Structure 1
């Protein structure tokens, strides 16, 4: 009888030891995954932060350039219309006629 009791105790101790080992491995895995996820999160956060900083510095430059191009185009158009008023009126009339025809056909 003592051997059966000893065997049960040994099995219980082995099972408890293995359970502790599984728990420790699970904790280690959780810690490792957390560290890995945290590293990925921090990396993505830094990339986003860099992209935002770039956007903050480049947006005003792009806006300024677009405004300059628009002003130049307006100035060139104004000069052209001033030098060729009848051509400008003719182009506007043709555009108006085409728009009128397109609208008339859709009804």
Structure 2
């Protein structure tokens, strides 16, 4: 069983794109507010600007670390399932049965 690195990459790109979009929206809001506000608003605006700068600098590091951990988890899972296929089937069946019981009781 091979690790699907394309789906990992797609997930990383989607997450990264979403976070970048949120950061850009926040940056646009900060830019649009200008300097025409009272002191409390200015202080909040400066805090938001600082948080955006931190997020922009940390996003690549966090993304890289998340991808590395995901790849490692996928690799370990792949090795385990490859070495213990019947155990993996049994665990999957037990999880499916448990989910079925829970869903059946909720109706």
Structure 1 length as normaliser, TM-score? Answer: 0.56
Q: Distance in 1 between matches of 2:48 and 2:40?
A: 12
Give every structure 1 segment of 4 or more consecutive aligned residues whose post-TM-superposition deviation is greater than 3 Å: 37-47
Q: Distance in 2 between matches of 1:42 and 1:84?
A: 60
Specify the alignment match of 2:80 in structure 1: 80
Larger Rg: 1
Specify the alignment match of 2:69 in structure 1: 69
Distance 1:42 1:96, change over 3 A: closer
- TM-aligned CA deviation for residue 65 of structure 1: 0.7
Specify the alignment match of 2:50 in structure 1: 50
Q: Distance in 2 between matches of 1:95 and 1:39?
A: 56
* 1:11-26 alignment, distance < 5 Å: none
Q: Which has the higher helix share?
A: 1
Q: Distance in 1 between matches of 2:89 and 2:67?
A: 26
- TM-aligned CA deviation for residue 71 of structure 1: 0.9
Specify the alignment match of 1:24 in structure 2: none
Structure 2 length as normaliser, TM-score? Answer: 0.56
Distance 1:42 1:95, change over 3 A: closer
Q: Which runs of 5+ in 2 are unaligned?
A: 1-36
Specify the alignment match of 2:93 in structure 1: 93
Number of paired residues? 71
